[in-house]
Structure 1
Amino acid sequence: MTTTRTNGSLYTHTENHIATIEFGHPSSNSFPSELLERLTKAFDTLSNDASVHVIILKSEGERAFCAGASFDELIAITNLEEGKQFFSGFANVINAMRRCKQPIIGRIQGKTVGGGVGLAAACDYCMATEAAAIKLSELTIGIGPFVIEPAVSRKIGLAAFEALAWDASQWKNAYWAKERGLFTRVFETIGELDKEIQLFAEKLASYNPQATQQMKKVTWVGTDHWSDLLIERAAVSGELVLSEFTKNALHKFKK
């Protein structure tokens, strides 16, 4: 079942110390501002819930995991403040995931673009299907993957980030992403993916939560400055989205 709500949907469910966050949007699970805000709040709330030992992040349906930013909202941006505010949405989510006390498992069932790649990179452990190709298409519309770059580069290295970002019109398949560390395991079917994620989440949930929280702190050392850095990057994107090049590219894409 996929949502038809224009602002998207977000559901959180906790069972046996495993919390699942599921987001959805009729436009290939893309993100309008309101949905980014709700996702940020969901991570912040779960982070402070002692009964939660592990979090699974997933999206609705069997096709795209996430198509990145909402094109409708990108087109509607008319000034610098609006632009900075919109791109800060992804900055806030990545920072919430980074600060979140519990490990986050990403379930990537299909194609992932732009900000969606950033979300996958901000997970602590990702599993995917063979259909989970990735692309950073931002340069094709006159902006860049600036906000998500620190998260993606941290996970796959600068060289692999450059391979994605410069070749903005090309998809990289799930095995390419696995070889570079974005995905840990790749499965043929969604059924296999879900089975393994459940087993892995149960294992993590059974470990000492104090140990897993310390483990998470260790792996994110050196990222505290992201609170400011990602907002600064959001301002860069917010300025570029007002350019004539980007406005024309977005309208062309929309048609």
Structure 2
Amino acid sequence: MDAYVKHTIQDNIATIEFFHPEQNSLPGTILAQLANTITEVGNNNDVKVIILQSGGDRTFCAGASFKELIAIDDAATGKVFFSGFANVINAMRKCPKFIIGRIQGKTVGGGVGIAASTDYCMATKFAAIKLSELNVGIGPFVVSPAIERKMGVSAMSQIAIDANTFYEASWAKEKGLFAHVYESIAEMDTAVLAFAKHLCTYNPEAMAEMKKIFWRGTEDWDNLLAERAAISGRLVLSDFTKKTLEKFK
């Protein structure tokens, strides 16, 4: 299947889904479509709550596209690429609707940042997380503010430094990333839909005001995440990173 971002709206619930055949990795085109779709759906008055998910039944998100990382040959291009993740996070932050994350499997790097940017996240027991950026000579600079906000500096720094390890979904729940962890995708999907329907019974204005409160203190993220994207864009050109990425060709 080809990569896509699509959405459906039914009974005031919008479901946004992204997919890439390479374990739901995220090239720039998909990141841009995802940010635009979140903004568009968030401004739709027929939508009361959003479910964010990826396609397939295995990996939720493998993070940045290695093909695009390898192709970056100047700092400006690097900043543009990493700004794609910043734009998705900021779209989620500014969206006036609650976003429920549905995490069916492992998630890496930027995918952890996306999960952390949802307002309420549900996962299966297979949804282990890893911040692998240090392995290739960069770091989770763009996504770490979102992860730190949800899990705290201690947990974020632990997985950022221990870049070879997948941390179990139960650990992620303990640290506040996941609200619930389920035994199967079917069990999770039942819970996600039931929860979304329940949220639709609440006052949309109250939920919008609550979301502003939840994200208080992030008003500088447009600038902050752009600065972080520039750091990643510079480091991806380092000799260390270039040599490491060569191994993935």
Which of 101, 104, 116 is equivalent to 1:106?
A: 101
Residue 232 (structure 1) shift: 0.3
User: What is the deviation of 1:102?
Assistant: 0.0
The amino acid of 1:225's aligned partner reads: D
Please report how far the alpha carbon of residue 251 of structure 1 lies from its aligned counterpart in structure 2 after TM superposition.
1.7
1:201 aligns with 2:196: yes
After TM superposition, the structure 1 stretch with the greater mean CA deviation from structure 2, 154-163 or 42-51, is 42-51
Q: CA deviation at 1:250?
A: 1.2
Q: 1:57 maps to which residue?
A: 52
Superposed, which structure 2 residues align to 1:107-146 within 5 Å?
107-146=102-141
Q: What is the CA–CA distance in structure 1 between the aligned matches of 2:127 and 2:210, rounded to whole Å?
A: 27
Alignment match, 2:245: 250
Question: Once the two structures are superposed, what CA deviation does each residue of 1:210-232 show, in whole Å capped at 9, x if it has no partner?
Answer: 01111111100110100100000
Residue 83 of structure 1 deviates from its aligned partner by: 0.2
User: Structure 2-normalised TM-score?
Assistant: 0.99
Cα distance in 2 for residues equivalent to 1:251 and 1:188: 38
Q: Give 1:248 deviation, angstroms.
A: 1.2
Q: Does 1:40 align with 2:35?
A: yes
Say what the alpha-carbon RMSD is for the aligned residues. Answer: 0.6
- Aligned partners of 2:131 and 2:88: how far apart in 1? 18
Paired-residue identity, %: 57
Task: Tell me which of 230, 235, 239 is aligned to 2:230.
Answer: 235
**Which of 156, 159, 171 is the matching residue for 1:164?**
159
SS of 2:8's equivalent in the other structure is strand
The Cα of 1:99 is off from its aligned counterpart by 0.1
Classify the secondary structure of the residue corresponding to 1:168: coil
Pair 1:13-2:23 in alignment:
no
Name 1:30's counterpart in structure 2.
25
**Distance in 2 between residues matched to 1:202 and 1:251, nearest whole Å:** 47
AA in 2 matched with 1:122 = S
| Number of residue pairs matched by the alignment | 249
Shift of 1:203: 0.5
SS at match of 2:122: strand
Question: Where does structure 1 differ by over 2 angstroms across 4 or more consecutive aligned residues?
Answer: none
Q: Please state if 1:148 is matched with 2:143.
A: yes
Deviation at 1:47, TM superposition (A): 1.6
TM-score, with length taken from structure 1: 0.97
Alpha-carbon separation, structure 1, partners of 2:8 and 2:243: 41
Q: Distance in 1 between matches of 2:162 and 2:141?
A: 15
Paired position in structure 2 for 1:80: 75
1:207 and 1:17 map into 2 onto residues whose CA distance is 12
Q: What is the distance in 1 between the residues matched to 2:44 and 2:195?
A: 20
1:192 corresponding residue in structure 2: 187
Question: For 1:57-85, what per-residue CA distance to the aligned partner results, in whole angstroms no more than 9, with x for missing partners?
Answer: 00011100000000000000010100000
Q: Does 1:91 align with 2:82?
A: no
Q: Note if 1:220 corresponds to 2:220.
A: no
Quote the Cα distance in structure 2 between the aligned partners of 1:43 and 1:94: 10
